[in-house]
Structure 1
Amino acid sequence: MSISILVVDDEPDLEILLIQKFRRQIRDGALRFLFARDGVEALTILADHEDVDVVLSDINMPRMDGLSLLSKLRERGESLSTIIVSAYSDMANIRTAMNRGAYDFVTKPIDFSDLEATIAKTIHHVEAMREVQRRQAAAEQARASLSRYFSPNLADRLASSAGALELGGARRQVASLFTDLTGFTTLAEAIEPNVLGPLLNDYIVGMTDIVFAHEGTVAKIIGDALHVLFGAPTDQPDHARRAIACSLELDAFACSFREHWRETGIEVGHTRIGAHVGSAVVGNFGGGRFFDYSAYGDTINIAARLQAANKTLGSRVCVSGAIAAMAQDFCGRPVGDLLLRGRSEPIRAFEPLNPEKCASGETQAYLRAFEELQAGDCHAVASFAALVGRDPEDRLASFHLKRLLNGDASTVITL
């Protein structure tokens, strides 16, 4: 690494002495010297040579002295390491120079062994500062990339950890959440690009902002669909609770988003959400060419299929019993025991609700109706019919009523 030193002194003999003293370092390319006769000329040279690292300056010079030069450098925000040269008896000026940002000083007459040691120490300081700047730049670059996937706080932590996202995966306990905007492909074909762009951008920004607020990781964005992880890449003991809380807030945003665009005459579909918790292999599988933070395993597949199950059930949010059991203070309506594609055993699923809706009379009536369904009680038909009569928009109650009327009185639902 080459170090450039600007020498500011009105004594012409100093230039010859320095070149002779440091001729080996100059020949090897380790040092480069530039020379100015006073502070005015020094500022001109610095303007033309942004790669100067060290300034070696006398104090007493014509036009602009060394102390004034230090003040000018500080005003301009120059991050240069400055060595001041002055008579030993001039300690007041040396003290002033140090207060104005000088890194070190040498006294006249110059002892070149002392000067060499001082320059070596200053170069070491410059190299240390360069390394700090390099690491800061790398961290900023990493943070900019990571911020596409992770919440700002998490991105900061990962950017400062050199090995946090090395290639390869690790098995972790995670909560996996999938979202899908229904009918988006049809919508994209029906509206103009200048409308579609802002619509999709506003949707994705709104959804990812909510994910980041819950410190989730956006593992994938494919069109309008999101795959979100909690508990990766860093541990989150409450990952199940975060996923449930996030799913409810995503649902509320999506409903509000849908109403907003409906008022403009554009019909946006519902957002379907599914979530599950369990073991998965998580890591960066980009192969070094691009960043692809992904998760694989049965946990991920089940979350994706629970999201798709909403289409059959008529619900918007469907989560597994496993994640409901892990989430503190979970509140929701049981959906049934879903026999998902590719699985031999059904899993209990729930529709999560906020506390207010969970405590409502309609929810309590649904819970009683589901208990009757689960017990094989023939009164379940009348109970679900009453629910639909009070709220025809309760699609989950309508789904169960339709099944019961078709003679299917089991809680097992084959998808």
Structure 2
Amino acid sequence: MTVRAEGALVPLTGVRVLVVDDLEQNRKLMHAVLEPHGFVVHSAESGASALLALAECPFDVVLLDVLMPVMDGYETCARIKADPRTAMLPVVMVTASGSRQRLLALEVGADDFVTKPFDQAELMARVRSLARVKRLHDTVVEQTVALERWNAELESRVAEQVSDLERLNRLRRFLSPQIAGLIVESGDESFLESHRRDITTVFTDLRGFTAFAETSEPEETMAVLREYHAALGELVFAYEGTLEHFAGDGLMVFFNDPPPCADAPRRAVRMALRMRDRVDGLAAQWRRQGHNLGFGVGIAQGYATLGRVGFEGRWDYAAIGTVTNVAARLCAAAASRQVLVSPRVLAGLDDSFRTRSLGPVELRGISRPLEVHEVLGSVEQEANP
């Protein structure tokens, strides 16, 4: 339904007033009084048409005549107030006379009343006052809805951020912070599923640690491990390696999974040499405390099966395959400060690394002797110690 003023469409701007009266001359009078003062006036000739108009268009105030056929002003007002969509819409009853009509108007929910013949200034003042209240109520409702929407969005964002933090903390158990962050941002955790990949594996441990732990107080042992883990863990993250595990003095890191790493052998060896330098500094301090500890590294390259292992609430990311065993055996065979590598790792290095061959070496658990090489140093790192 299109609500019309007397004969023409009126744009819904300014204070919007719906005049309800069965007499045309009364409706025209309200238009003549209110429109020159900036009110936007619409009219309805009955209670039923008024309810239809309210269902289609928003209004700020209703001026409602009491005496109308079929549905009088009292019933119309009661229906307006019973509808949740219009319950807060101000209704001014236009009464002929008498306190009885006023009392009935208040009982059905009218907000104010005007007695015929009405004073024009009083009518406009009442309409403006009630319109301000209505607009204020509308603003409060809009703000409440917006606040509820914002709260719902905030709750959703907080839940999402908490989930991201949980995922990030999970991933940071074995990935560098920057790689873990990229995975969380992308939302892709498919790498956790079992898969095969050519990786370069680094094993490190402390020479003489078992004897040291047997003869030292537990507090001393833990203090040494904390310093050792902190020094090496920082380098794992710096070189963007994937940390499989810390196990006492042992550490296993691999490259080229999950993020691809085109220079995995070179990066692994550079990291190992930096670790050796770090542990050299720690070893000097430990010797002053009476602890004789060295550092050995084994590095191998080959295919492994990788993926998530464990159980709900305690997952790890693991690499399983001969390459991890070879790296571990090379580490076990290394003397203090030695970095031993397999033939494939050596093939992935360039001329910036100084190496020497140790010839075929029998490694425990490996069926055939392995050609082993020792990495003595790196021209780049020696130039920038």
- What SS is found at the alignment partner of 2:237? helix
Task: Provide the rounded CA distance (Å) in 1 between the counterparts of 2:255 and 2:139.
Answer: 59
2:338–2:375: 8 Å Cα contact kept in structure 1? no
Q: Which moved more, 1:282-291 or 1:156-165?
A: 156-165
2:358–2:374: 8 Å Cα contact kept in structure 1? yes
Q: Tell me the C-alpha RMSD between the 2 structures.
A: 3.3
Q: 1:336 maps to what in 2?
A: 359
Task: Provide the rounded CA distance (Å) in 1 between the counterparts of 2:334 and 2:310.
Answer: 32
Deviations 1:3-29 (A, max 9, x none): xxxxxxxxxxxxxx999949xxxxxxx
Q: 1:290 maps to what in 2?
A: 314
1:169–1:285: 8 Å Cα contact kept in structure 2? no
Task: Provide the rounded CA distance (Å) in 1 between the counterparts of 2:187 and 2:271.
Answer: 29
Q: Which amino acid aligns with 1:324?
A: L
1:174–1:280: 8 Å Cα contact kept in structure 2? yes
2:191–2:258: 8 Å Cα contact kept in structure 1? no
> After superposition, where does 1:138-287 map in structure 2 within 5 Å?
138-164=163-189, 168-267=193-292, 269-287=293-311
Task: Provide the rounded CA distance (Å) in 2 between the counterparts of 1:262 and 1:270.
Answer: 10
1:150–1:218: 8 Å Cα contact kept in structure 2? yes
1:179–1:271: 8 Å Cα contact kept in structure 2? yes
Evaluate the alpha carbon distance shift between residue 338 and residue 108 of structure 1 in structure 2; reply closer, same or farther with a 3 A threshold.
farther
Task: Provide the rounded CA distance (Å) in 2 between the counterparts of 1:213 and 1:197.
Answer: 24
1:175–1:239: 8 Å Cα contact kept in structure 2? yes
Q: Which moved more, 1:295-304 or 1:326-335?
A: 326-335
Task: Provide the rounded CA distance (Å) in 2 between the counterparts of 1:291 and 1:324.
Answer: 33
> After superposition, where does 1:5-404 map in structure 2 within 5 Å?
21=84, 109-110=134-135, 122-164=147-189, 168-267=193-292, 269-311=293-335, 316-329=338-351, 330-356=353-379
1:179–1:225: 8 Å Cα contact kept in structure 2? yes
TM (norm. structure 1) is 0.55
Evaluate the alpha carbon distance shift between residue 266 and residue 338 of structure 1 in structure 2; reply closer, same or farther with a 3 A threshold.
closer
Q: How far apart are 1:220 and its partner, in Å? A: 0.9
2:194–2:307: 8 Å Cα contact kept in structure 1? yes
Q: How far apart are 1:331 and its partner, in Å? A: 2.9
Q: How far apart are 1:284 and its partner, in Å? A: 1.1
Task: Provide the rounded CA distance (Å) in 2 between the counterparts of 1:270 and 1:198.
Answer: 16
Q: 1:83 maps to what in 2?
A: none
Q: How far apart are 1:171 and its partner, in Å? A: 0.9
Task: Provide the rounded CA distance (Å) in 1 between the counterparts of 2:81 and 2:222.
Answer: 64
Task: Provide the rounded CA distance (Å) in 1 between the counterparts of 2:169 and 2:367.
Answer: 44
Task: Provide the rounded CA distance (Å) in 2 between the counterparts of 1:338 and 1:202.
Answer: 32
Q: Which amino acid aligns with 1:266?
A: H
1:167–1:286: 8 Å Cα contact kept in structure 2? no
Unaligned runs of 5+ in 1: 1-16, 23-88, 90-106, 360-415
Q: Which moved more, 1:128-137 or 1:276-285?
A: 128-137
Evaluate the alpha carbon distance shift between residue 216 and residue 20 of structure 1 in structure 2; reply closer, same or farther with a 3 A threshold.
farther
- What SS is found at the alignment partner of 1:211? helix
How many pairs align?
257
Evaluate the alpha carbon distance shift between residue 130 and residue 358 of structure 1 in structure 2; reply closer, same or farther with a 3 A threshold.
closer
Deviations 1:246-298 (A, max 9, x none): 1111112222211111122222x211110011211111112323121110011
Task: Provide the rounded CA distance (Å) in 1 between the counterparts of 2:278 and 2:234.
Answer: 11
Q: How far apart are 1:127 and its partner, in Å? A: 2.4
Q: Moved runs in structure 1, 4+ residues, more than 6 A? A: 17-20, 111-118
1:178–1:227: 8 Å Cα contact kept in structure 2? yes
TM (norm. structure 2) is 0.59
Q: Which amino acid aligns with 1:335?
A: L
Unaligned runs of 5+ in 2: 1-79, 86-127
- What SS is found at the alignment partner of 2:331? helix
Q: Which moved more, 1:245-254 or 1:338-347?
A: 338-347
Q: How far apart are 1:349 and its partner, in Å? A: 1.8
Q: 1:407 maps to what in 2?
A: none
Evaluate the alpha carbon distance shift between residue 261 and residue 18 of structure 1 in structure 2; reply closer, same or farther with a 3 A threshold.
farther
Task: Provide the rounded CA distance (Å) in 1 between the counterparts of 2:304 and 2:226.
Answer: 30
Task: Provide the rounded CA distance (Å) in 1 between the counterparts of 2:232 and 2:162.
Answer: 29
1:158–1:164: 8 Å Cα contact kept in structure 2? yes
Task: Provide the rounded CA distance (Å) in 2 between the counterparts of 1:242 and 1:282.
Answer: 20
1:175–1:275: 8 Å Cα contact kept in structure 2? yes
1:167–1:288: 8 Å Cα contact kept in structure 2? no
Task: Provide the rounded CA distance (Å) in 2 between the counterparts of 1:248 and 1:148.
Answer: 23
Evaluate the alpha carbon distance shift between residue 277 and residue 19 of structure 1 in structure 2; reply closer, same or farther with a 3 A threshold.
farther
Q: 1:387 maps to what in 2?
A: none
- What SS is found at the alignment partner of 1:354? strand
Q: Which amino acid aligns with 1:282?
A: L
Q: Which amino acid aligns with 2:341?
A: V
Task: Provide the rounded CA distance (Å) in 2 between the counterparts of 1:125 and 1:344.
Answer: 66
1:165–1:284: 8 Å Cα contact kept in structure 2? no
